[in-house]
Chains A and B, each alone.
Chain A
């Protein structure tokens, strides 16, 4: 496996279901991200983990719960979602320095297409 892999690629769930998205990076990076991509909207940053610690939560509703057990794995736990949460969820990784700075180059996975009925 190379790069950033995300599973599942497609997920359909009801509003009362609980599911999880998984991301794994094989690049040796120390920062991982969740982004939401909706039609006709810019990529929205949801969460940032830097050296396994959450450093950013962009006012994301609590029905989205991230988990980063180590620097290579990232999860997004989903529960009681709404239809407007249907979107492509992208995981990314990057290499940051000790100050938390990075060049801006993100390596993205192929995304998990989520449909909430």
Chain B
């Protein structure tokens, strides 16, 4: 079983839709959970960061972590064409804090 599973998509939605992106993981030592956004021909940039279980909201973005199910989600409300990008989940834990990434989900928001 891969450490982090993420559906690569592609995912195409109309403008204004609610988008749900998800990752599952197998390593129970993971404590830090991140979502990175990567625009075409750019490097990834940190979008959301959460520690342990719970929700975190930042504008139109909400990150959820369910450690009991080993499942994390990123919700995008009122999606915009400018949200079109690849979204990478990443997580770390343990003594070396090494990040483990998902494959990324390619999202297109159509005007």
Q: Which residues of A contact B (CB under 8 A)?
A: 4, 40-43, 45, 56, 90, 92, 100-111
- Footprint of A on B, CB under 8 Å? 4, 8, 32, 34, 41-46, 49, 88, 90-92, 96-104
Decide if the interface of chain A is mainly helix, strand, loop or mixed: loop
Give the distance to chain A from B88, nearest Cβ to Cβ, in Å: 7
A109 to chain B: which residues have CB within 8 Å? 43
Neighbouring B residues of A4 by C-beta, 8 Å:
43
Q: Check A111 against B103 for contact (C-beta < 8 Å).
A: no
The reply to whether A104 and B92 contact each other, CB–CB distance below 8 Å, is yes
Contact between A45 and B98 (Cβ–Cβ < 8 Å)?
yes
Nearest to B46 among chain A residues (CB) is A105
Q: Is the CB of A42 within 8 A of B49?
A: no
Interchain CA distance A67-B88 in the complex, whole Å? 28
